[in-house]
Chains A and B, each alone.
Chain A
Amino acid sequence: MQNLTLLDGPKFQITIQRLCRQLIENHDDFTNSVLIGTQPRGIYLARRVAEELRKILPNKTILQGDMDVTFYRDDFRRGERQLVPNQTRIDFIIEGKKVILIDDVLWTGRTIRAAMDGMLYFGRPAKVELLVLVDRRYSRHLPVAADYVGIEVDSIASQKVVVSWKETDGEDKIILVSEK
């Protein structure tokens, strides 16, 4: 097991702030835009982004929800073990809104496909964009691309990219874990 730190400390915070500024460029004051984090790990990034946006736009309402994709996955009845569903919490109408889907790591693109499928059960969005903290390049199984990217990483399938958060893991950090 070998761990390589890709991002931590002040740079981590700067990356999140940059993503927020990029969002504001395209979404102005967020009157018609909503943030949706994917369970289980994307919700921490979505909450952090929402928190940061509220600091930058103190008088605006930033709507943020959590989406669990377990019921929409394409590997049901195919895996070895079953996934326990997490909570979906979307307390607003998606119909006609610009949705920013948020996940921590973009790898094969299958979670994002499932999230887009699940999202349609809450209404027809005007537009959907994707924000990720880490883009594992050249590893897609589906034609999915992110609109906002924190960092790009070149990795091989046996490696893992782990994002840890101050709130749950004690430290903001992105590490690349290799088997040996």
Chain B
Amino acid sequence: MFDINHGENSQTMAELSTRHLLGIKDLNLSDIELIFETADEFKSVLNRPIKKVPSLRDVTIANIFFENSTRTRLSFELAEKRLSADVVNFAASSSSVSKGETLIDTVNNILAMKVDMVVMRHPYAGAGIFLSKHVKAQIVNAGDGAHEHPTQALLDAFSIRERYGDVAGKKVAIVGDILHSRVALSNILCLKQLGAEVMVCGPTTLIPKYIGALGVKVEHDLLSALNWCDVANMLRIQLERQDIKYFPSLREYSMLYGLNKQILDSLDKEITIMHPGPINRGVEITSDVADSKQSIILDQVENGVAIRMAVLYLLAGQAQ
């Protein structure tokens, strides 16, 4: 039918095992590797004078954000536009959601306008999974409550792979508010799939009980965690999700779990510093560390666009 069959050694074919990207939990190792290989090529597209390909020119994507976001929303929108998709944006605060419309009604109304894919962020865990069972469009989870944030985990692992060549065998410490973090869960699942060792570090109150069941080490002392790891992923304290006091004061948290230049220089090796953003400078990480050459925070942002292009491209390309 198509002229790809020049010979027996024609181009390799593969597709994701899932129709939606709801969480890393649904991806297997070959899915993640396929996303990375595709993202490699999109990263090279992003470094060309014309940073665009026409692949998704007949695809319409709605970005539906029920929660605030700067990086993720911009990154998705750029990824969509660089794939030549048509994009509509929707923020819950300025919509009929505030008039009492339900999630399914809101989304079905958007889909009635012939939208193919929905990128959604929602404050409730499982919102994407719920939606995927009730509407026809393909769903990409851009963060659901304290549950998962799959594209963030993929871009984090992709950045580690870029820095070290491989993720397998690397030691990654995730430091901070693990309890309220969707980045932490997705990162743990993704890094474990790729064969990395993972440690979580933070005050006892911010580490979920039984997290060891995911196959991660637990540490409460920052210096020990840093001495163990190759990569430290510093998470923000999610004050907006904390309904009770989990530690006495931000100042005390910062003294015990904040990463500063002094601690970094006291280590006998050079570790890589990551942060998913937004940074609270002076709380979990000081400015001089965030801006140091060990930090790959801005590389993470750059890779975010390539990873999201890969995810959207691979999902859109599946047989309809």
B is bound to A = yes
Known: A71-B54, A81-B13. A160 touches B314 (CB 8 A): no
Task: Give the docked Cα–Cα distance between A83 and B319 (Å).
Answer: 12
Asked if B3 CB lies within 8 Å of chain A CBs, one says: yes
Pick the interface stretch among A5-13, A28-36, A101-109. A101-109
Pick the interface stretch among B18-26, B41-49, B207-215. B41-49
Considering only CB atoms, which chain A residue lies closest to B320 in the complex? A77
| Complex interface: chain B residues within 8 A of A84 (CB) | 11-14, 34, 37-38
Tell me the minimal C-beta distance from A100 to chain B in angstroms.
Answer: 19
| Complex interface: chain B residues within 8 A of A104 (CB) | 6-7
Query: CB distance B7 to A162 under 8 Å?
Result: yes
Query: CB distance B317 to A82 under 8 Å?
Result: yes
Q: How many residues of A contact B (CB 8 A)?
A: 40
| Complex interface: chain B residues within 8 A of A143 (CB) | none
Asked if A161 CB lies within 8 Å of chain B CBs, one says: yes
**Partner pick for B319 among A40, A41, A80, A123, CB 8 A cutoff:** A80
Known: A81-B15, A84-B38. A162 touches B6 (CB 8 A): yes
Kindly count the residue-residue contacts between A and B in the assembled complex, taking CB atoms under 8 Å apart.
Answer: 103
Asked if A64 CB lies within 8 Å of chain B CBs, one says: no
Task: Give the docked Cα–Cα distance between A84 and B314 (Å).
Answer: 9
Considering only CB atoms, which chain A residue lies closest to B16 in the complex? A82
Query: CB distance A41 to B13 under 8 Å?
Result: no
| Complex interface: chain B residues within 8 A of A177 (CB) | 8
Considering only CB atoms, which chain A residue lies closest to B56 in the complex? A76
Task: Give the docked Cα–Cα distance between A80 and B1 (Å).
Answer: 11
Task: Give the docked Cα–Cα distance between A84 and B52 (Å).
Answer: 18
Task: Give the docked Cα–Cα distance between A88 and B50 (Å).
Answer: 14
Q: Which of the four size classes fits the interface of chain B?
A: 35 or more
**Partner pick for A160 among B7, B37, B45, CB 8 A cutoff:** B7
**Partner pick for B6 among A117, A161, A168, A169, CB 8 A cutoff:** A161
Considering only CB atoms, which chain B residue lies closest to A109 in the complex? B3
Query: CB distance A87 to B41 under 8 Å?
Result: yes
| Complex interface: chain A residues within 8 A of B2 (CB) | 75, 79, 108, 110
**Partner pick for B12 among A83, A88, A111, A168, CB 8 A cutoff:** A83
Asked if A92 CB lies within 8 Å of chain B CBs, one says: no
Query: CB distance B37 to A117 under 8 Å?
Result: no
| Complex interface: chain B residues within 8 A of A169 (CB) | 9
Asked if B250 CB lies within 8 Å of chain A CBs, one says: no
Tell me the minimal C-beta distance from B137 to chain A in angstroms.
Answer: 14
Task: Give the docked Cα–Cα distance between A41 and B10 (Å).
Answer: 7
Considering only CB atoms, which chain A residue lies closest to B309 in the complex? A71
Query: CB distance A117 to B54 under 8 Å?
Result: yes
Considering only CB atoms, which chain B residue lies closest to A39 in the complex? B11
Query: CB distance B6 to A105 under 8 Å?
Result: yes
| Complex interface: chain B residues within 8 A of A161 (CB) | 6-7
Task: Give the docked Cα–Cα distance between A29 and B221 (Å).
Answer: 68
| Complex interface: chain A residues within 8 A of B313 (CB) | 71
Asked if B58 CB lies within 8 Å of chain A CBs, one says: yes
Asked if B4 CB lies within 8 Å of chain A CBs, one says: yes
CB within 8 Å of B: which residues of A? 39-41, 68, 70-72, 75-77, 79-88, 104-105, 107-111, 117-118, 121-123, 160-164, 168-169, 177
**In the A-B complex, the 10 residue pairs with the closest CB atoms:** A162-B7, A71-B53, A108-B3, A81-B13, A85-B41, A82-B15, A82-B317, A84-B12, A121-B50, A107-B3
Give me 4 other A-B pairs in contact (C-beta within 8 A), A71-B53, A76-B56, A163-B7 excluded: A40-B11, A41-B9, A81-B15, A161-B6
Pairs across A and B, CB under 8 Å, 24 listed = A40-B10, A41-B6, A41-B7, A68-B41, A70-B11, A71-B54, A71-B313, A72-B54, A75-B2, A76-B316, A77-B58, A77-B317, A81-B13, A81-B14, A82-B15, A82-B314, A82-B318, A84-B12, A85-B38, A105-B7, A107-B3, A162-B7, A163-B7, A177-B8
